[in-house]
Structure 1
Amino acid sequence: MKAKAGNRIFDGVNVVLLIICLLLCLAPFLHIVSISLSSNKPILSGFVTIFPIDLNWEAYSRVLKDAAMIRSLGLSVGLTVLFTVLCMLMTICAAYPLTKTELKGRKLFMYLIVFTMFFSGGIIPEYILVKQLHLVNTIWSLILPLLINPFYLIILITFFGGIPKSLEESAELDGSSHFGTLIRIILPLSMPAVATLSLFYAVNRWNGFMDSLFYITDPNLYPLQLKLYQMIMNSMMTDQMQAEGAQIVQILPESLKAASIVVATVPILVVYPWLQRYFVSGIMLGSVKG
């Protein structure tokens, strides 16, 4: 009974701590949502916290009616999907051969991969390379330099290496090729790792900003994050004009920025629950029959 009481107390403390952590994580996002839904007076007064005051949808209406914003949103969605597919294709094709101990030069390849995690040419040589390849102002400048993340590659190599070799040997006895084994056996058993790394790649590309700032100057090719940056800079100029006595605009820049941030965050929040079902353990239980 004492042990059961102790377990209940321990579980209760854990629940309380997790709820506190959840609230701390949600508070900044709720604050942004509240600002985007509040009217000008409460925002200027600083009364908006995690609940909107004087509900106002004008900021969202302004953002969603902006043709350039919608174009940037669609471009970012397509760019993220293409980037994630190509990155996972390259990562899988690199990880599977590197799990084979009989591969000649395997250790050298691993050393080179680890080397790139700690050393790089820097921003200027990378920009010069992208420019010489005529990739500036193309979506490929946002894809090709980041096709393989060495850390994610090592994670996938480790996961592939944990799959029982007996499964691959059985497939080889049945006449399966390496490619067939990868498609029919390795990948189905590796869906948790593949889904997790796909989410990591997608989030990194969706939130990517610096490379688009360097390589994209055509407004028609602005991804969403760069468009948000442009909007923030414009709003800062508006703030300066207001401080100098210009006519006050109908919607505060803070409200527009908050609405834009929410619009940019919602798509990736929609994707995460769909992939969360793969974050499970025990996927390989019963896969090897003795």
Structure 2
Amino acid sequence: MRTSKSISEVIFDAANVILLCLLSIVTLYPFLYVLFASISTPAEFVQHRGILLWPKGFSLDSYRMVFENPNIIRSYLNTIFYVAVGTTLNILMTALGAYGLSRKNVMWKSTIMMLIVMTMFFDGGLIPKYLLMKNIGLLDTYWALIIPSAMTTWNLIIMRTAFQGVPDALEESARIDGANDWTILFRIIIPLSLPVIAVMVLFYGVWHWNKWFDALIYLRDRNLFPLQLILREILIQNDTNSMMTSVGGGDRMPVGETIKYATIMVATLPILFLYPFLQKYFVKGVMIGAIKE
């Protein structure tokens, strides 16, 4: 049995390790920079130039100001609502559509699938969408960010492909025992497709968490704004005044800088904590939808 490696194999392994370490550093450093900046003392941070390898001082005042801002708390709760309700509706609608389009005895399913796929290439445009939302009364409501995006074509294709991989014999035996389509879907198909369901939860959840453009177009009531739209105001429009009412004029600029980074961390950490719980299903779920047709 061969145990030693040749010189070329050792060089190859070393190059792989070095390359992966460099990629890890390049990927991780921006996150660490934001983290270190958010907990740095504002006055020391604004004086720093170049690479940031550790916090400059230590202060959690920026986080305190972020969580004391009523706009942040309200938008946080709004985003949780959009993610929870939106993702639940997405999974339900996608599963129903995928089940119907994956059954062999459904009439015109190829034609229906072709029409659905066409929506990936042709779009009515922003103005018709806005007029539609206005005419059906969804403007300035929570449902403006949930109902129009109840299902996406790409995720429907992935889930449909996964459902097609469930053996027909299971469905046939269930029907012999008197099961209807609802029973087959929720007690057979979905339990056997948990990896792809987990991937869909991750895809839809991250999508809802990061979505801000629809809110910018359809919402005017600030009480309905998601977190990402408030984050946009803070980062792009430099609007941190509402969080610095107790800060003196000379300290507003440095404190405003660390508040931006603290807000980014507050908006990013929850979705990062979700990923490890779904990561074990990720590769399997994506591959199910990628190689089975």
TM-score, normalisation: structure 1: 0.87
1:118 aligns to what SS in structure 2?
Answer: coil
Runs of 4 or more consecutive aligned structure 1 residues displaced over 6 Å after TM superposition: none
**How far apart, CA to CA, are the structure 2 residues paired with 1:61 and 1:118?**
46
User: Does the CA contact (< 8 Å) of 2:36 and 2:55 recur in 1?
Assistant: yes
Q: CA deviation at 1:132?
A: 1.0
Distance 1:3 1:113 in 2: 55
Deviation (angstroms), 1:272:
1.4
- Output the amino acid matched with 2:24: L
Which letter does structure 1 place at the counterpart of 2:265? V
Q: CA 1:180–1:13 in 2, change beyond 3 Å: closer, same or farther?
A: farther
Question: Which of 20, 35, 38 lines up with 1:36 in the alignment?
Answer: 38
Identity of aligned residues (%): 39
**Inter-partner Cα distance in structure 1 for 2:172 and 2:18:** 49
Aligned residues: 275
Deviation (angstroms), 1:8: 6.7
Q: Is the 8 A contact 1:37 1:56 kept in 2?
A: yes
2:131 is aligned with what amino acid?
I
Q: Which has the higher contact order (CA 8 A, sep 6+)?
A: 2
| Unpaired segments ≥5 residues, structure 2 | 242-248, 286-293
Residue of structure 1 aligned with 2:144, choices 141, 145, 155: 141
1:26: which partner in 2? 28
Conserved? CA contact 2:234–2:240, under 8 Å: no
Deviation readout 1:120-146 (Å, 9 max, x if unpaired)? 101111111111111111110001111
In the alignment, what sits opposite 1:162? 165
Alignment counterpart, residue 255 of structure 2, candidates 240, 252, 255:
252
Q: Distance in 2 between matches of 1:36 and 1:237?
A: 14
Q: More deviation in 36-45 or 94-103?
A: 36-45
**1:151-190 equivalences in 2 (<5 Å):** 151-190=154-193
SS at 1:217 equivalent: coil
- What is the one-letter code of the residue matched to 1:17? L
Out of 109, 113, 116, the position equivalent to 1:110 is 113
Cα RMSD over matched residues? Answer: 2.3
**1:5 partnered with 2:5:** yes
Please say if residues 83 and 208 of structure 2, whose CA atoms lie closer than 8 Å, have aligned partners that are also in contact.
Answer: yes
Quick one: structure 1 residues 260 and 175, their matched pair in 2 at CA, closer, same or farther if it must change by over 3 Å?
same
Q: Could you tell me which residue of structure 2 aligns to residue 218 of structure 1?
A: 221
Instruction: After TM superposition, give the deviation of residue 20 of structure 1 in Å.
Output: 2.4
- Relative to the length of structure 2, the TM-score reads 0.86
SS in structure 1 of the partner of residue 223 of structure 2: helix
Distance 1:134 1:118, change over 3 A: same
Structure 1: runs of 5+ lacking an equivalent: 239-245, 283-290
Aligned partners of 1:42 and 1:48 also within 8 Å: no
Say whether the 8 Å CA contact 2:95–2:159 is kept in structure 1. yes
CA–CA separation in structure 2 for the residues paired with 1:14 and 1:191: 34
Alpha-carbon distance change, 236 to 82 in structure 1, aligned in 2, over 3 angstroms: closer
